[in-house]
Amino acid sequence: MVYEAKNYEHLLGLEGFSDQLLKNHFTLYQGYVTNTNKLAAILGSLAAAEKTGTPEYAELKRRFGWEFNGMRLHELYFENMTRGGAPLSQTSVLYEALVREFGSYENWEKEFKGLGLIRGIGWVVLYLDPAGNRLFNTWVNEHDVGHLTGGVPLLVMDVFEHAYLLDYGLKRADYVAAFMKAIDWNVVVGRFKYNPGR
């Protein structure tokens, strides 16, 4: 099976994001899809040739996590944005869970945005821990470092420079503010499966 790059051109015209920045970002994402497919094919060939014990196989296997997660995180990121944004209903189960976990929606938002301003490259992810029915704002350093095992990514914000530098320069806080206005909470709520009885 070969992964196909998804088309996110419907996001062109997104307020706070120039079309050039988005097009550059789409191209970068397509590279992750291409490299995921290439690595899967090479790893399959090495396995078929019984070369799984080689240094080449080991290094490519490590690299696969970077490329695959780069592909998936970008898909989650693009899919949780929409032109005009879509607000989170205060009567939604997710809103209630955010209030329960963080004390208020405002507390959650402050922490999430604050993580987006941490120096360095990475991702900010609102995770659901289905085993414990808990929500966590998490810093993912690189694509393959910092994920919560078993966690379900609900909201994903890219804070690598390519996500904002063209439009905002070093003003990452302005990018974070633009991202928050572009969130499609309908998509985020759709990813949320909370079981309050656990």
Prediction pTM value: 0.95
Residue 138 pairs with which residues in a beta bridge? Answer: 125
157: CATH: 3.55.40.20
pLDDT in tens, 32-79: 999 999 999 999 999 999 999 999 999 999 999 999 999 999 999 999
Claim to verify: residue 142 and residue 174 sit in the same structural domain: yes
Supply the range of the domain harboring residue 134: 93-191
Query: Which residues belong to the annotated binding site?
Result: 25, 74, 158, 162
Tell whether 168 and 115 lie within a shared domain. yes
Same domain, 57 and 119: no
Which of 34, 49, 79 is the last residue before a domain boundary? 79
Which residue in 170, 137, 168 sits closest to 151, CA to CA? 137
Query: Total structural domains in the chain?
Result: 2
pLDDT digits over 79-91, tens only? 999 999 999 999 9
182/112 same-domain check? yes
Residue numbers belonging to the annotated binding site for Mn(2+) = 25, 74, 158, 162
- Let me know if residue 59 belongs to a domain: yes
Report the interhelical angle of 55-79 vs 19-48 (nearest 10°): 150
pLDDT band per the 50, 70, 90 thresholds, residue 194: low
Angle at 90 between CA 109 and CA 158, to 5 degrees: 35
Q: Is 195 helix (H, G, I), strand (E, B) or coil?
A: coil
Is residue 74 packed enough to be buried (19+ CB in 10 Å), middle (13-18) or exposed (0-12)? buried
**How far is it, in rounded angstroms, from Cα 163 to Cα 166?**
8
